[in-house]
Amino acid sequence: MLILKLKEAQARYNITNKDLAQFVGVGKTLISDWRAGRRRPSYERINLILGAIAHLGDDEQLKLFPLSISELLEWRDLNESLVTKQNENICS
């Protein structure tokens, strides 16, 4: 499953919900939903988000941490997550 790491990317590159929403052409509420994982952006919008980060992001941070797709997306195996949760419950 693809996980959107928007909250982390915004923090790293100092981008507000308002600025990101304006650049991408959506409302701040939708940005909040993406950040919380309640909704997922389309692949087209992911591309727009990457462009927004490159355009709006703090120049110093972008030099220190060059922008890549892995800054925004992460692949997690659902089965692995379930096994980890089950093991945590057993150990508790």
For the chain, give every domain's residue range.
2-88
Q: Is the dihedral of CA 24, 30, 34, 40 positive or negative?
A: negative
Specify the pTM: 0.77
Tokens found for residue 41: 């952006």
Superfamily of the domain at 2-88: lambda repressor-like DNA-binding domains (1.10.260.40)
- CA distances 4 to 75, 82, 91, Å, are 9, 19, 29
pLDDT of the chain, 92 residues: tens digit per residue: 778 899 999 999 999 999 999 999 999 999 999 999 899 999 999 999 999 999 999 999 999 999 888 888 888 887 765 555 555 666 65
Residues in the chain: 92
Contact (Cβ atoms closer than 8 angstroms) between residue 69 and residue 3: no
